[in-house]
Chain A
Amino acid sequence: QSALTQPRSVSGSPGQSVTISCTGTSSDVGGYNYVSWYQQHPGKAPKLMIYDVSKRPSGVPDRFSGSKSGNTASLTISGLQAEDEADYYCCSYAGSYTLKVFGGGTKLTVL
């Protein structure tokens, strides 16, 4: 199972919005509404930011939102803040054999 495709890097200035895409296939992203997004700061464990495509866990700011269209999911971060600078990974359920596949990760730089 190939990894989901994410841009290697994105950037934005404080207060701006950025969107990170995550492209898969009809066997993973397009086939299920089970896409999640994780934030990882250097040397730290990943943290859940979005689950089930667009749901936000308690404690995650509403500046973070998720969506999906066809085989591509997206994470949008509005009102960028310095602490949002991190790596972001998407993940999708991929069926009862492969189970779970991650994206290659996107480095967000807040300029």
Chain B
Amino acid sequence: SQQGEEDPQALSIQEGENATMNCSYKTSINNLQWYRQNSGRGLVHLILIRSNEREKHSGRLRVTLDTSKKSSSLLITASRAADTASYFCATSSGNTPLVFGKGTRLSVIA
């Protein structure tokens, strides 16, 4: 079952611009995580935000969580060509495995 749904499905920006991706989910969660996947590779964990947190930063990444709207956003500031990848949100509910969304494909054009 797919819990998170990312929006947009694809995003193309110029290097140096900010990239914003959104994730909506349906049920209550313990935490929400964002992962990155380069083409043909495994996923890499980026950041985790707990249900009692509203905002979290890690380097050029900023994640927000609005549990009342069941949504999260991932902001990548000052994008670089190396940020080109697919980004997935994943939700954790109870003692069950993470449920992943379908991802946003980000292209950063140099």
To the question of whether A and B form a pair in one complex, the answer is no
